[in-house]
A and B are shown apart, each in its own frame.
Chain A
Amino acid sequence: MANRSIQYKVGLFIVTTIVLVILAALFIAYKKDLFADLAMYRLQSESGEGLTQGMPVLFSGFEIGKVKDLELSDKGQVVITITVPRKHVRWIREESTFTLEKPLVGTPRIVVRTENPEGKELSYSKVVPMKTIDDINEVIKKAQPLVERIQSVADNIDRMTNADSELNKIIADTRKMTKMLSEKKSLLEMATGDKKGQETLMKTLEQVAAITETVDGTMKRIDGMVAKADESVLGDKGSIAIVNNILSDIEGKFKRLDTLIDNAITMSADLQGTTQDINLVRKEVEETISSVNKLIQDVRNSLPFEQKKEIKLP
């Protein structure tokens, strides 16, 4: 029989390890809210794709519950029952939104969003519709135009590399040109096709050079003429200087003329005043004559003299 010491050590080892395992299991159970009071809610989805029992329910990235059950309703929709520990119930309100998110990497999850945690608590009897966001489909949708562009580029490359393509024709032509160039002495000979043509072209070029020389000389002479004309027109004693002097003189004369005109205007104003004075004198003379006439008539009436038909005015 094994001695008591061995039995004690073995017993202690077994009991300690089993206790540790049980404690670890209980701790995990506690952390998994296995002993917590759970509240249940019901969600509704058009499809059960991506939904599994035990799927996490997240709020602000923190797991607050799990999917407990999935069932098909009479209307053909999926009813999802989720459980949430009582301590997290305040995040599940009537206006809370539930979204099934299927990320590109990682497991799908139901995400809860609650704007007002003080709102009315969601009731089990109310079945809340759930939205779905599928990252993979979103990526495919976004990548579709890119794939189409790549396809288009591939088609273009395919067309370009086709045996009958323009690119291949250009390459073939280039090859021909290179071959021709290697067989001819110069590019000119290749371009004209024969030696005579090259010689003719060379002669023409020489003639063009002679013409250019002549034109050059002519241009030099024209330049000299232009320089002389420039001197006679724009020089110190040129036409422009003389015209400038004449214009200055005319300007001075115009200034004097302006003074004369001003004087004439003043004189005209004075003359107008004088005319008005003459009118007044005339009026006074007329009045005087009229008074004298009246006086004469009075005298005539007073005196018994034959009245003469004519009266001599003073």
Chain B
Amino acid sequence: MNTSSWLEKLGGAVLDNWHELRQLLGFAYTVFRRLFAPSSYRPLTVDILTTQIYFTAVQILGFFIVVSVLFGSLFIGMTLFVIKEIGLTSYIGQFIAGVVVLEMAPLVTVLLIALRSGSAINAEMAVMKVNRELDALTAFNIDIARYLFLPRIIAVMVSVVLLSSLFAIIVTLSGLIFSALIFGMGFNAYADLIAKAIEYKDFLILMVKSAAFGFFITFIPLYYGSRAGYQLTAVPVSVLRGMVNVFIAIVVIEVLSLVARFL
């Protein structure tokens, strides 16, 4: 391979990525504009939004609570046991506030929602593209960003924020049971420890982080789904690309939130 052809390939890849990035940013701009425009919130949009929240959060609520109780209790139980072994009992509050509320609650929630709803939204959009439903809506001058994308993004954002909060509350309460069993700690002592360790900015970080997770695990599948080809084989490729990028987005947000927290 000579130098000129290598440079051509490099230049081509850069241009492709730049083009992709521009399209992604353009898509994000369109969604954001609709997100903050009051005209976007028409009865039909609210109706889709309600249905989407139902599918994303309410339908899995029972399963989610069971997962929260089981996973959260096991995690808290094991960690409190280790904390007791190494004599750091006074740091229970910091551990539960820092690890469970701020890190584990949004992460577990977003992984569950991304696997369930993110992939479903990606596949739904790709199939609509294959069936030329998106083209049909565009042909009828229906704003797909307003009627298809926006309700889903808001619904997932709301669902992730609410489910993360619910997860944090459930796990914190299960921590009460384990701290009573392992340390013989009463409700008041436990509540004092947690209350002293949790700051109001932790609530804000939890909400913003969950909202950011919700936005990206919907926005990315919507983007890749709507950009799928017209062949049926394009559907899995679109879902694959979308989910890989969702995973990258989750990692990036997690890292950014850690950086923001310790700055």
Q: List 28 A-B contacts (CB under 8 A).
A: A1-B43, A1-B47, A2-B51, A6-B54, A6-B58, A9-B54, A9-B58, A10-B53, A10-B54, A10-B57, A13-B57, A13-B162, A17-B163, A17-B165, A17-B166, A18-B162, A20-B166, A20-B169, A21-B169, A24-B165, A25-B200, A25-B203, A28-B194, A28-B195, A31-B192, A32-B195, A32-B196, A106-B90
| Chain B residues in the interface with A (C-beta under 8 A) | 43, 47, 50-51, 53-54, 57-58, 61, 90, 158, 162-163, 165-166, 169, 172, 191-192, 194-196, 198, 200, 203
Q: Is the CB of B169 within 8 A of A14?
A: no
Q: How far is the CB of A37 from chain B (nearest CB, A)?
A: 18
Chain A residues with Cβ under 8 A from B203's Cβ?
A: 25
Q: Is the CB of B169 within 8 A of A6?
A: no
Residue A20 contacts which of B165, B192, B194, B195 (CB distance < 8 angstroms)? Answer: B165
Residue A7 at the chain B interface, CB threshold 8 Å: yes
Chain B residues with Cβ under 8 A from A28's Cβ?
A: 194-195, 198
Chain B residues with Cβ under 8 A from A14's Cβ?
A: 53, 158, 162
Q: How far is the CA of A32 from the CA of B172 in the complex (A)?
A: 17
Smallest CB-CB separation from A25: which chain B residue?
B203
Considering the complex, which residues of chain A in the window 124-158 have a beta carbon less than 8 Å from any beta carbon of chain B?
A: none
Q: How far is the CA of A18 from the CA of B58 in the complex (A)?
A: 14
Residue A95 at the chain B interface, CB threshold 8 Å: no
Binding site secondary structure of chain B:
helix
Q: How far is the CB of B215 from chain A (nearest CB, A)?
A: 18
Q: A24-B172, A56-B196 are in contact. List 10 more A-B contacts (CB 8 A).
A: A10-B58, A13-B61, A13-B162, A14-B158, A18-B162, A20-B165, A25-B200, A31-B191, A32-B195, A63-B196
Q: How far is the CA of A1 from the CA of B163 in the complex (A)?
A: 25
Smallest CB-CB separation from B172: which chain A residue?
A24
Q: How far is the CB of B218 from chain A (nearest CB, A)?
A: 17
Chain A residues with Cβ under 8 A from B191's Cβ?
A: 27, 31
Q: How far is the CB of A51 from chain B (nearest CB, A)?
A: 18
Chain A residues with Cβ under 8 A from B90's Cβ?
A: 106
Q: How far is the CA of A18 from the CA of B90 in the complex (A)?
A: 30
Q: Most chain-B CB neighbours within 10 Å: which of A9, A14, A17, A63?
A: A17
Q: How far is the CB of A303 from chain B (nearest CB, A)?
A: 150
Q: Is the CB of A2 within 8 A of B47?
A: yes
Chain B residues with Cβ under 8 A from A32's Cβ?
A: 195-196
Q: How far is the CB of B64 from chain A (nearest CB, A)?
A: 11
Smallest CB-CB separation from A66: which chain B residue?
B196
Q: How far is the CB of A58 from chain B (nearest CB, A)?
A: 11
Q: How far is the CA of A10 from the CA of B58 in the complex (A)?
A: 6
Q: How far is the CB of B143 from chain A (nearest CB, A)?
A: 19
Q: How far is the CA of A63 from the CA of B191 in the complex (A)?
A: 14
Q: How far is the CB of A262 from chain B (nearest CB, A)?
A: 97
Q: Most chain-B CB neighbours within 10 Å: which of A13, A18, A25?
A: A13
Chain B residues with Cβ under 8 A from A17's Cβ?
A: 162-163, 165-166
Chain A residues with Cβ under 8 A from B169's Cβ?
A: 20-21, 24
